[in-house]
Structure formats: structure tokens, C-alpha cells
Amino acid sequence: MRKTNIFAALAAVAAFAAPALAQDFTPENPECIAPANPGGGWDFTCRQVGKSMQDLGLIDSTMQVVNLAGGGGGVAFAEVVNKRNDENDLIVAASTATATRLATGAYPGNTMDQVRWLATIGADYGVIAVSAASEIETLPQLIDQIKADPTSIAIAGGSAVGGWDHLKVLIAAQAGGVENVRSVKYIAFDGGGEAVTQLLAGSVQAFSGDISEAKGFVDSGDIKVIAVLAPERLSGDFNKFPTAMEQGIEAVGANWRGFYAPGNMSDAAYDYWVTQIKTLYDSPEWKEVMAANGLEPLDLQGAAFQEFVAGSVAKIQTLTAEITQ
């Protein structure tokens, strides 16, 4: 399978039939776990969705956001499975990074079937960025430096080694002609915000993340995006960022964003959360949030999302084997 088509294949999922409205459940203390430190994509997912749901009256009280970093999401996953497996007020931010860690066995003793998958809120394309002061202007320049001296370039990401931010780097490096992708120096941090902080401090030379994570730092003038890992340029304000493809490097990496819930959440609570997230996704207000943050459409809920995650795990296992063999 062509590597550039990995995530196109994941999008071919059966249409979803929305569940009946759950009238017999309302969360008393809605909570969202962001499995990383503040400032990254999971943190954005919890905070933006919580705020938008409250603004639209989809939840009756403020969504409490808890940052529970560690293990590329593994600490949060284990917490939910082992200690909070029957809580109905709890949802957890997830993404392709979650599927990647599950696919590679990085959550010891845990599998995707131990939780219930709720819904997506969009897809976030990967980016490679450098500090605004960097002399590097293009992705080929960065890759040429890696080829010349792999030790001279350290790339930071918000997922663990072997996680999705790391895989995006390897996808781009391999597509750019790096023969031994294991020589690429990747440093993991607990969230994209911390990774960008290290970039700005000069501890690393590049950043691998997603467009929603990078946007605020681009707007502040701190970093510059040298490649978006999308098939073509994004729309709106993001159209100014070049793709890896147009620079001659066939690398595509789409990061879905969504939520899972405790495995023993009641059916009434599960249907409630699926329905409310779907209602949010369909709202004009959320379409504005998506446009402002570079999120592309990905509309999956309930059983269709469960099937999609299973497909993601299987495809990432194949991708990992292709790159690391």
C-alpha cells in the first residue's frame, strides 16, 4: 500500500445512523481528561469542545478539564480502565496518537476494546515547523541537514517515542530519501505545547505536531510551518502554508480528533454523549471553530467510530512495520 494513501483508506467507513436521544441521563459534573500537559491537541480538544458545548446549551454546567499527562496518553488510559471504568460524566480526548500507541502495544495490558469510542470532531493534519529565527525555510532543507548529520537535528513532538508525532517525522524522512530513518533524532514531550516550548528555548531544531497545536505559535510569530502533511494546501488562513507534497516529498499524515469513554459507561450516558457531540459537530458554531483551527471534516459517531478506530489501529500496525523493518 502506498504510504500516502494510508489515511485515505481509513476514511472509507460506513455511514452512521444517529442513536435515539437519551432523555434519561444528564451529567451532573461533566469532566474531560486531556492526556497531556496544557497547550497541545488533546488539551485543545477538551477545552474547546467543553466551552462550545456549554455555549450551545448542550451541557448544563462547565466542563471540568483535567490534564493527566504521561506515557503518550497511557497514564490517562490506565486511569480510566482501572479506576474510573463506570463513570458516566467522564469523556477523554483521543486522536490518531491514541490509536498509534494502542497499535504498537505501548499501553501495557490495555486494548481499544476496554473503552467505548464516542465520536470525532474533525481531522487535524500534521505539520513540521521550526522557530521563526531558524535559517531553515523548507522541508527539503531540514531533511538535507538530517542526511548530512543526523545528530545535528533534534525534532520534538508531543507524543511518546513510537507515537504519532514520531511516525510523522519518519514518514517525511523516508519520503525525503533518508535511508536509515532510525537515525532521525526525535525527543518526546508530554504534549505539543511543551514540545514547542523546547523548540523556542533552542533545545531542539524542529517540531512535529498538528496544525491546531501550531496555530497559536504561528500567530504570535514564534514559529514557522515549513510543511503541512496534507494532500493539498488547506483552506482559509492556512492556505499560506506549503505542503510536503508540493516540495517533492510525498508525506501525508492526518490526525483524527475525538473522544472515548469508560468501558462500563451506561448505554443512556453513552447515547447522550454521542448525541451531544454529534449535535455540536453539526452546528454552524463548530464549523467556525474548525475553520479557525485548521480542522478538516471527519464525522463519525458510535459504532462507525468504533469501526474506524479498529481500522486505524490495524493500518498503523502495517505502517509501523513498513517504516521500521
- Residue-wise pLDDT for 110-122, tens only, equals 999 999 999 999 9
Q: Are residues 137 and 51 in the same domain?
A: no
3-state secondary structure of 191: coil
Q: Are residues 132 and 119 in the same domain?
A: no
Residue 159 — very low, low, confident or very high, per pLDDT cuts 50/70/90?
A: confident
Total domains present in the chain = 2
Q: 267: buried, middle or exposed (CB in 10 Å: 19+, 13-18, 0-12)?
A: exposed
Q: 295-310 pLDDT, tens per residue?
A: 999 999 999 999 999 9
Query: Of the residues 198, 226, 247, which one is the last residue of a structural domain?
Result: 247
What's the pLDDT at 45? Answer: 96
- Share the mean pLDDT of the chain: 90
Grid cell for residue 155: 525534532
Q: Are residues 224 and 140 in the same domain?
A: yes
Q: Are residues 197 and 110 in the same domain?
A: no
Global pTM reads 0.80
Q: Are residues 20 and 113 in the same domain?
A: yes
Rg (Cα) of the chain, in Å, rounded? 19
Asked if 173 contacts 146 with a C-beta cutoff of 8 angstroms, the reply is yes
Q: Are residues 205 and 277 in the same domain?
A: no
Question: What CATH number is associated with residue 189?
Answer: 3.40.190.10
Q: Are residues 236 and 193 in the same domain?
A: yes
What is the residue range of 44's domain?
A: 3-124+255-324
Beta bridge partners of 155: 186, 206
Query: Of the residues 231, 247, 263, which one is the last residue of a structural domain?
Result: 247
Q: Are residues 114 and 151 in the same domain?
A: no
Grid cell for residue 14: 460506513
Q: Are residues 223 and 205 in the same domain?
A: yes
Cα distances (angstroms) measured from residue 82 to each of 33, 58, 222: 15, 29, 40
pLDDT at position 14 over 90: no
Residue 325 — very low, low, confident or very high, per pLDDT cuts 50/70/90?
A: low
Q: Are residues 119 and 129 in the same domain?
A: no
pLDDT at position 128 over 90: yes
Q: 236-275 pLDDT, tens per residue?
A: 889 999 999 999 999 998 899 999 999 999 999 999 999 9
Q: 17-55 pLDDT, tens per residue?
A: 334 444 589 999 999 999 999 988 999 999 999 999 999
3-state secondary structure of 228: strand
Query: Of the residues 247, 272, 288, which one is the last residue of a structural domain?
Result: 247
C-alpha 286/C-alpha 18 separation (Å) is 18
39: nearest Cα among 186, 199, 237, 254: 199
Q: Are residues 194 and 277 in the same domain?
A: no
Query: How many CA within 13 A on the CB side of residue 267?
Result: 3
What's the pLDDT at 321? Answer: 81
pLDDT at position 16 over 60: no
Question: What CATH number is associated with residue 108?
Answer: 3.40.190.150
Q: Are residues 118 and 193 in the same domain?
A: no
Q: 180-236 pLDDT, tens per residue?
A: 888 999 999 988 889 999 999 999 999 999 988 888 899 999 999 999 999 999 988
C-alpha 245/C-alpha 12 separation (Å) is 22
